[in-house]
Amino acid sequence: MKNLVVLSGAGMSAESGISTFRDAGGLWDQYPVEQVATPEGYARNPELVIRFYNERRKQLLTVEPNEGHLGVAALEEEFNVTVVTQNVDNLHERAGSTHVIHLHGELTKVCSSLNPNNPNYIRELKPEEYEVHLGDLAGDGSQLRPFIVWFGEAVPQIEVAIDYVKQADILVIIGTSLNVYPAAGLLHYAPRTADIYLIDPAPVDAHTQRPIHLIRKGASAGVKELRELLKH
């Protein structure tokens, strides 16, 4: 079976009703990034940050995977599929994808404030636990914080993602502006022989001279077209 790697961004989940950060009216318009997505913002006002991610978690209970997520999961019937996502939602998993690498963390998990990447203190929350409070502590006695990679923090999973992209026969990029590094640089690790598909209704600068199969559609329609193309 060929190795197929999907790199997905906010556009992947937009059709499910998950607010994107960058679009007009998106989350960054309502909450400045410095307040809710940096270590400094968390240090300054942990209560605001915890509340912000509580709201994001509760939104997960109101949305479903879209046809794009389901189509990506269905690709596992014909390919070794690895999903590398910039999204912190769990929609790929809920759609049935079995191998998902989250570059920017996971909304449904919490971790230690002192050592966010220590696996001993990373915990998956059940839906009834989605409301985290100041005073809820990790196993090391520090405040539980969202298991999210904030701006200015290292991206621990990037090396893992690079290893998979290096072995890709097919790389599919869905719903990402390719402006957020280090994720945007993953394309450059794809082998010269790999076929590259880019699914996005808007123009995307891939910062490469390589031939790319462009599918100018949203995630659901784009993945449907991709699956047809891959059959030939």
Q: Is 192 helix (H, G, I), strand (E, B) or coil?
A: coil
Annotation marks residue 104 as catalytic: yes
Residue in 92, 104, 207, 213 annotated catalytic:
104
Check: CB of residue 130 under 8 Å from CB of residue 57.
Answer: yes
Burial of 167 (0-12, 13-18, 19+ CB in 10 A): middle
Classify strands 100-102 and 80-85 as parallel, antiparallel or unpaired: parallel
Asked if 195 and 169 count as a contact pair (C-beta separation under 8 A), the reply is yes
Q: Give yes or no for a contact between 118 and 110, defined as CB atoms under 8 angstroms apart.
A: no
How far is residue 19 CA from its own chain's centroid? 13
List the catalytic residues.
104
